[in-house]
Amino acid sequence: MSIHIALIAHDRKKEEMVDFVIAYEHVLAGNQLYATGTTGQRIMDNTSLKVHRFMSGPMGGDQQIGALIAVNQMDLIVFLRDPLMAQPHEPDITALLRLADVHGIPVATNLATAELLIKALERGDFGWRELVEKHKPDLGPA
C-alpha cells in the first residue's frame, strides 16, 4: 500500500530531515512524498526519492499540505519543528497541526516520534488508512 507522506522541516532542522530520510529511504520509497520547497529539494538532492514540492512554508506550502489533509489526501506528516525559534508563519503551522488533529492524521514533530511512525509504516501498521481511503468524500468536478 502506498501512502501519502508530507515532509516538512524548519530551517535549523533541515539537515536532521535529510539524515532521517537517508536512513529510512528504503521505507519511504514506493510512497507518495510531498514536501515544502527547500526541504523537498534537499531530500531529492541527497536521495533517489521523488518528492512533490510545494511552496516554502512561509510562502504557503504549509497551507497547500493542509488542503490535502482537508480532502483526505494525506496519511502521515513528519514536521521537524524548531521549538526554540519563532516562526513568522506560526498561524499557518498551527492551522496545519489543527487540521491533522481534526482528520486524525499522525504527525511527528521530532526525530523520536518520526522514527516510531516510520517503523510503524515499515511494519505495515498503516492499513487502517485503506479504510479511510474508501470513505473519501467525492469532491465532484473541479
Known binder of ligand: residue 2? Answer: no
Among the options 62, 75, 82, 138, which is catalytic?
Answer: 62
Instruction: Render pLDDT for 83-123 as a digit per residue (tens, 0 to 9).
Output: 777 786 787 788 999 999 999 999 999 999 999 999 999 99
- pLDDT, residue 75, reads 94
- The answer to whether the CB of 49 falls within 8 A of the CB of 29 is yes
Known binder of ligand: residue 57? Answer: yes
Whether 134 shows a pLDDT value over 80: the answer reads: no
**Max alpha carbon distance in the chain (Å)?**
44
Strand arrangement, sheet containing 4-9: 52-53, 32-35, 4-9, 76-80, 107-108
Residues β-bridged to residue 9: 80
Known binder of ligand: residue 124? Answer: no
pTM of the model: 0.88
User: Alpha-carbon distance 58 to 37, whole Å?
Assistant: 10
pLDDT band at 36 (very low <50, low <70, confident <90, very high): very high
- CATH class of the domain at 7-134: alpha beta
Q: Quick one: average pLDDT of 18-45? A: 97
45 is catalytic: no
pLDDT band at 69 (very low <50, low <70, confident <90, very high): very high
